Amino acid sequence: MNKITIFDSTLRDGAQAEGVSFSVEDKIKVALALDELGVSYIEAGNPGSNPKDLEFFERIKDIEFKNTTIAAFGSTRRRGISPSEDSNLQALLGAGTKAVAIFGKSWDFHVTDIINTTLQENLEMIYDTIAYLKEQDKYVVFDAEHFFDGYKENPDYAMKTLDAASQAGADCLCLCDTNGGTFPQEISEITKKVVDRFAVTVGVHCHNDCGMAVANSVMAVLAGATHVQGVMTGFGERCGNTNLSTVIPNLQCKLGYECIAEENISKLTHTARKVSEIANLQLSIREPYVGKCAFAHKGGMHVDGVCKNSRSFEHIDPSVVGNERRFLTSEVAGRTTILSAMQRIIPGVEKNSPETTIVIDKLKELEYEGYQFEGADGAFELLIRKTLGKYKPFFELENFKIIGEHPPYASGQTASAVIKIKVDGKSEITAAEGDGPVNALDKALRKALEVFYPNLSDVHLTDYKVRVLDGNSATASKVRVLIESSDGPDNWTTVGVSSDIIEASWIALVDSLEYKLIKDIEQKFKTFL
């Protein structure tokens, strides 16, 4: 099995994405997650560019990484000075990493028109910098910036920049599609010429401006590259970078290369989602391999086929990459999907049982009214229980009152809620302030219920979505509210529909808390058994 070196740039190139700002603590968390996954190198930042990266490199000196080598990033020396006089290179050495990545210009246009030097001076800048770093016993990756664009305009000069780096002792020549505009067949042809010419390791670094960064990286590997740079989940400047959560399984699971240890490939989904969470980015549900929808099936024929043989509608077993198969509940899903959910509540129920027909009919009725259960697993389980008489409410609402406020208090809270509930004949009345009426109601309800059910303190909302279903009715339109909740280990989604957004939110909120209570009871019962 051929080995591919994975060089992760989440903390450097990924940090250049719009909306991403890693704290030092964030960077450490990401580095530890990537180390756990088993990537070979982590390009962790530019110590010469900002104090945050300097602090990061200082703090990780005390951390022992199991699988990965930390690399610092910088540029070739500035024109007219020696490497020992260049403050950025000195900061790079001060980071104390075993590996460094140095970028230099490979496109003659950039040399003459952007950094305003001569073609010869640029070659000397590349050679001097790498030779100096090799004297300091560093593993050096030369990022040939704009290599593919440079090669297409002046192949002779682009190759000379690689010659300079190779002669200076670079351990890896990484070819960069910096503008992200090169097509796969071009990547393949040009990479092969470089691989055939140089005995040193050849790598690839692609941007996604044409939507082909993953394809380009795969084509480079097929042409002989053995080093791939990218970002976990693919975020980065402009349209992003090669998505490592896609390219790793493409290479390892499809083409037989070894990118990370075989036993770690099942950690891929967890790592991708964790990195996205730390970056405060919403991971696309349609992300290949690691997205929530990557192995989700809705059409009845598809579900039936997967149940008979998963190969019929899945290109890979989801468990290989740590993901899971999901059957989406809707009026087009078919009995197989609904049956699998029902059997968790009523073991022994069959596809043709009367209970199945009752649930399907109720499902169709509610979806006609605007409910959507395909992404609301918690709400669908409660629907089954309510429809089949397997549900008993945990509390009774006596009344609630919401008061809006404008302008808001100095605290920024714009609403208050008073709520009265009853549990086993005992009433509890509480009040709370919030950022809007729904937030105030949520706080008041939890405050009242936690008197009877302390375990609800573990639950928090992770997402809240409102969808207008009928815009023709203007502000009286019916809305659908989706609430995603978590207690730490588990996540679930509930839904409410009404022409009153408060009522729709109330329905989804109550179902969310009752779902948690049901799950806790079931868990206690299993523990007792």
| pLDDT of 526 higher than 60 | no
| Residues 75-133 pLDDT 10s | 999 999 999 999 999 999 999 999 999 999 999 999 999 999 999 999 999 999 999 99
Give the span between the Cα atoms of 415 and 431, in whole angstroms. 11
Give the span between the Cα atoms of 522 and 520, in whole angstroms. 5
Q: What's residue 411's pLDDT?
A: 61
Contact between residue 182 and residue 149 where contact means Cβ atoms under 8 Å apart: yes
3-state SS of 397-413?
Answer: EEEEEEEECCCCCCCCC
When comparing pLDDT for 183 and 373, which is higher? Answer: 183
| pLDDT of 157 higher than 60 | yes
Angle at the Cα of 256 from the Cα atoms of 250 and 258, rounded to 5 degrees: 85
| pLDDT of 331 higher than 70 | no
Entry pTM: 0.71
Q: What's residue 341's pLDDT?
A: 72
| pLDDT of 194 higher than 90 | yes
Q: Other CB atoms closer than 10 Å to residue 517's CB: what's the count?
A: 18
What is the mean pLDDT of the segment spanning 27-32? Answer: 94
Q: What's residue 339's pLDDT?
A: 73
Q: Other CB atoms closer than 10 Å to residue 315's CB: what's the count?
A: 12
Residue 29: which of 222, 232, 205, 182 has the closest Cα? 232
Write the burial class of residue 85 (CB in 10 Å: 0-12 exposed, 13-18 middle, 19+ buried).
exposed
Q: Other CB atoms closer than 10 Å to residue 13's CB: what's the count?
A: 22
Confidence tier at 48 by pLDDT (50, 70, 90): confident
| Residues 250-262 pLDDT 10s | 999 999 999 999 9
pLDDT, averaged across the chain: 88
Give the span between the Cα atoms of 193 and 151, in whole angstroms. 11
Q: What's residue 134's pLDDT?
A: 97
Domains along the sequence of the chain with CATH: 5-278 (3.20.20.70), 296-387 (no CATH), 395-452 (3.30.160), 459-529 (3.30.160.340)
Give the span between the Cα atoms of 305 and 336, in whole angstroms. 10
What is the mean pLDDT of the segment spanning 136-147? Answer: 97
Give the span between the Cα atoms of 392 and 185, in whole angstroms. 62
| pLDDT of 380 higher than 90 | no
Which amino acid, 356? T
Q: What's residue 529's pLDDT?
A: 40
Q: Specify the range with the lowest mean pLDDT, choosing from 99-108, 345-354, 452-461, 510-519.
A: 345-354
| pLDDT of 141 higher than 70 | yes
Which amino acid, 374? E
